[in-house]
Structure 1
Amino acid sequence: MRDAVAIVTGGGTGIGAAVVRRLAARGVRCVVNYASSRDAAEALVAEVGEGAVAVQADIVEDAQCHALVEAAQAAFGRVDFLVNNAGRTKFAAHEDLDALEAEDFVDIYRLNTIAPFQMIRAAAPAMRAGGIGAVVNVASVAGVFGIGSSVAYAASKGALVTMTKSLARVLAPAIRVNAVAPGYVGTGWFENRLGEEGFAKLNARIAAATPMALAAGPDDVAAPVEMLLDPATRAITGEVMLVDAGAHLDVGLSRRPGREG
C-alpha cells in the first residue's frame, strides 16, 4: 500500500482520524477531508506525516466532491482509496413518530448517503486508472437492524448498505466497494459530552453487554477499514462487515440501551 493515495472524508476526528493514522503507518498518503474541524485535521496531518494534506470540502455539495478529488490529484497525482466516513444524525426515540420532520430525513440522507455516492462518482476515474481502487463506506449496525439514534439515521445507513452492494456490482472489476457497520464506538464525541467519569461508565456498561466484553473504540473500526482497502483482500467486494464486538448475536439487541450506531 506504500505510496498509494487515500481520501478520508470526515478524517480529522474519531473513526476518520484513526483510519488516517493506520493508513499513514502503511505508507499511504492521505487527504484528510474536513468540513469545519480545521484545527483537528491540520494537527493530524502534522502528526502522521507521509505527505498527508488537509483539505476543506462540504461533500454535501457535488462540486466540492469534485474539487476534493482534484486537490488529491494535484497533491499526489493519483487517488487509489476512498473512505466515506463523514456522517451526521439527529437523536430521536424511534417510538416518537413526531420527533422527526421531513427536513431531518433529507438533511441526514444528504450527508450519509448522497455524499458518499457523489464522492465515489468523483473519484472513480482516478481509482480506475490506478489499478487498486477500493472504497470503504462507514455504515452502521443501525442500517442493518433498524436501530440507533433515530429512524432517519437508520434509514440513511440502510440506504448506504444497499448502495455499497449496488456499486460493488457495477464498478467491478476495477474498483472494490465494501462497508463496515460499527455498533457503539467510544469516540471523543461521547467523552466531551459525558466527561471522563461518565464516559468510563458508559464504556463499562457497553462492554458488559457484548459477547466480546468490549466497548469498541475508533481503532477497532479503523483496522477492518484498513484491511478492506488492502489489495491483499482483492477477492472481497460488496461486503458489509459488522464491527460491534458481537452485539448483533444478542436477540435482545434492539431493546438494550446504548447499542447505537
Structure 2
Amino acid sequence: MSDVMQGAVAIVTGGGTGIGAAVVRRLAARGVSCVINYANSRDEAEALAAEVGQGAIAVQADIVGDAACRALALAATEAFGRIDFLVNNAGKTKFAAHEDLDALDAEDFLDIYRLNAIAPFQMVRACAPALRASPMGAVVNVASVAGVFGMGSSVAYAASKGALVTMTKSLARVLAPEIRVNAVAPGYVATGWYEKKLGEEGFAKLNAKVASSVPMGFATGPDDVAGPIEMLLDPMSRAMTGEVLLLDGGGHLDVALSQRPGRDG
C-alpha cells in the first residue's frame, strides 16, 4: 500500500541543520521530495540532499527578502511542478536578559522580526498558489514556547514568535479550506548549535539540567519536534488547522517555567 505522501513536494526553510534537517529526513522517508532551503549552510544542505535522495535539492535563499521567497517557490515548482508542504523553520535570536531593558534596541527587534515573522508570511504568500492546487496543501510554522509565555532568549525573540503564533491562526482562517496552517512551539531543543557553542561536556550538562526540570525527564531533540511536524503535514491531520502544539517535555506545566534559564533557543 503506497504512502499518501509519496510523490509530494515540501519546502523546508533552514532545512540543512537542526530541526529542519530532521524534518527533511522524516519527509524523505515518506517519499516526499524536499527543497532544502539554506542561507549560509550550503555544505550541510547539499550533503543532506545527497543523503536523503527522493530528488531532494538544496536551494540558497535569504528569505528575509520577498524576492528571495518568490524565487525559492519558483525553484520548487520548476524542479517538481508542485508544492504540497511548507515548513517555516528558519529563525534567529539575540540573547538578552528580559529584565535588562537596555540590552535590545529597535534594530534588534526588526532584525529578529524580519526572519521570524515576516519571512514566514512571505513564504506562505509565495507558495500559496501551488499549495492551493495541492490536494493536501499544508503549512507548519516553527514557533516557540517563548512566544506563548513571554519568556526565552530575549524579549525580541518572544515577541517575534508570539507574532508567528498569531499569524498562524490568522492564515489558517483565511487560507481554509485549501490550505491548513498549524504551528509547533518547542522549548529548549538539543541541537548541534548548542553543542558547538558549549562543547560536548557543556552540552551534556545543559541537557541533563533541562531533563531534570521537565515532567518527561528528557531534553527534547530535533527529531522530537520533527515528528509532530510530519504529523501536522500528513493528510490524516486534515481536521487540524490553526493549532499550536507545545513541544517542551511538559515544561509548560510548571508555573515557574519562566524563572528557569536555558529553556529555549
Name the TM-score class by shorter chain: over 0.9
What do you get for the CA RMSD once the two structures are aligned? 0.5
Partner of 2:264: 260
Q: Offset of 1:147 from its aligned partner?
A: 0.3
Q: Offset of 1:156 from its aligned partner?
A: 0.1
Task: Describe the superposition over 1:4-49 as per-residue Cα deviations: whole angstroms up to 9, x where unpaired.
Answer: 0000000000000000000000000000000010000000001100
Partner of 1:46: 50
* Distance in 2 of aligned mates of 1:108 and 1:259: 18
Residue segments in structure 2 that go unaligned for 5+ positions in a row: none
Determine helix, strand or coil for the equivalent of 2:161: helix
Write out aligned runs for 1:229-244 (5 A): 229-244=233-248
Alignment pair present for 1:111 and 2:115: yes
* Distance in 2 of aligned mates of 1:42 and 1:23: 16
* Distance in 2 of aligned mates of 1:73 and 1:227: 24
* Distance in 2 of aligned mates of 1:10 and 1:203: 23
TM-score by length of 1: 0.99
Partner of 2:73: 69
Q: Offset of 1:254 from its aligned partner?
A: 0.6
> Percent identity over the alignment?
80
Query: Which letter does structure 2 place at the counterpart of 1:74?
Result: E
Partner of 2:142: 138
Alignment pair present for 1:158 and 2:158: no
Write out aligned runs for 1:1-261 (5 A): 1-261=5-265
* Distance in 2 of aligned mates of 1:43 and 1:260: 27
* Distance in 2 of aligned mates of 1:258 and 1:194: 12
* Distance in 2 of aligned mates of 1:24 and 1:258: 32
Task: Describe the superposition over 1:162-185 as per-residue Cα deviations: whole angstroms up to 9, x where unpaired.
Answer: 000000000000000000000000
Task: Give the total of aligned pairs.
Answer: 261
TM-score by length of 2: 0.98
Q: Offset of 1:60 from its aligned partner?
A: 0.5
Q: Offset of 1:57 from its aligned partner?
A: 0.4
* Distance in 1 of aligned mates of 2:204 and 2:101: 32
Residue segments in structure 1 that go unaligned for 5+ positions in a row: none
